Amino acid sequence: MLKKKLLVFLLTTILLFSLAGCTSSQDTYQKETYQAQVSTQAQSNEKESTNVIEKQEQDQISQSTSNNQTVQEEEPGHKAEINLIKARVTKVVDGDTVYVRFENGREEKVRFIGVNTPESTTKIELYGKEASAYTKSQLYRKNVWLELDVQERDKYGRLLAYIWLSPPESINDTEIRSKMFNAVLLLEGYAQIMTVPPNVKYVDYFRTYQQEAREQNKGLWELEINKNENSQVTGEPEYYIGNKNSKIFHRPDCEWAKKIAPQNKVIFKSKEEAIKAGYRPCKVCKP
């Protein structure tokens, strides 16, 4: 009898320990499962938070770039490998200077690279009004594309640029002749070459275009021939050419007058006007 009771007690004890072990294992399993779920949720929240922060940082960078944008946009949609800045001409100063407004609202005074038209503002030079009127007829209130060279501005703070009437497909003679306004001014005889290093990217093209206009007696080159013909009839030229640097004025056919750089030329309608302006006559051509 005692043995039976002892056997029942042992079986009962073993059963109780087994039940307790199962409960503990189940609790451990549930605990581990809960911890895994919490960890996964935490990782998901952390990743989502990181994505939000990265997006905010990207938005801030984009906004900063937009706010600080000046004239460094590249116009898309063309094949030529050059940087172009789209702008709209808002005012024409003279034949080779305009004001433009960029797409970000910024306005700049722009001087055309490589060319020089006769003056038509502070002083009126021969063919200056014609050159200014031509530029206005071609550019005023129209979209243009600016190409910069090595030196971005001149000593007066003006932006220096080649003016494209439309983006070129490639850089070649045909495209430059038909689409670059600097070249058009030379081809039509409204301007002469003015080379100022280091901005000399298209100087070889420009030399060719000026030579063609001169040979075809276009624009100011036709004017030069007419003046020479008139001087042969009357014996006196209808204008004189002064040198801003030397303060000497010459007859138009003087060899020294032909050597004056375009930016240093001053046109006087009479000897009296030249002398009154402080210029003295050339000792070679004796105007």
Residue 195 placed within a domain:
yes
Encode 216-252: b = buried (16+ Cβ within 10 Å), e = exposed.
Answer: eebbbbebbeebeeebeeeeebebbbbbeeeebbbbb
Same domain, 198 and 243: no
Angle, CA 263 vertex, CA 259 and CA 266 arms, to 5°: 80
Q: Which of 163, 180, 215 is the last residue of a domain?
A: 215
Same domain, 194 and 270: no
d(CA 58, CA 209): 48
Residue 64 placed within a domain:
no
Same domain, 154 and 244: no
Over the chain (287 residues), the average pLDDT of each successive run of 10 is 60 58 49 51 51 46 38 49 95 97 97 93 80 96 98 96 97 97 97 94 96 93 60 62 92 88 84 88 89
Same domain, 179 and 286: no
Is residue 114 within 8 A of residue 160, CB to CB? The reply is: no
CATH number for the domain that contains residue 118: 2.40.50.90
Nearest to 263 by CA among 244, 282, 278, 246: 244
pLDDT at res. 37: 54
**Residue carrying structure tokens 């670059």:** 180
Domain enclosing residue 127, as ranges = 85-215
Nearest to 231 by CA among 279, 183, 287: 287
pLDDT at res. 232: 44
Residue 287 placed within a domain:
yes
Same domain, 178 and 251: no
Domain total of the chain:
2
Residue 224 DSSP SS3: helix
Same domain, 200 and 96: yes
Q: Which of 215, 247, 272 is the last residue of a domain?
A: 215
Tokens of 240: 């004189």
Residue 92 placed within a domain:
yes
Same domain, 211 and 89: yes
Same domain, 264 and 176: no
Same domain, 206 and 110: yes
Residue 271 DSSP SS3: helix
Q: Model's pTM, two decimal places?
A: 0.56
Q: Which of 180, 215, 250 is the last residue of a domain?
A: 215
Same domain, 150 and 207: yes
CATH number for the domain that contains residue 261: 3.40.10.10
Residue 138 placed within a domain:
yes
pLDDT at res. 119: 85
Same domain, 210 and 274: no
Catalytic residues: 111, 119, 158
Strand-pair category, 85-94 with 143-147: antiparallel
Residue 184 placed within a domain:
yes
Residue 72 placed within a domain:
no
Residue 46 placed within a domain:
no
Same domain, 205 and 264: no
Nearest to 138 by CA among 187, 89, 102, 93: 89
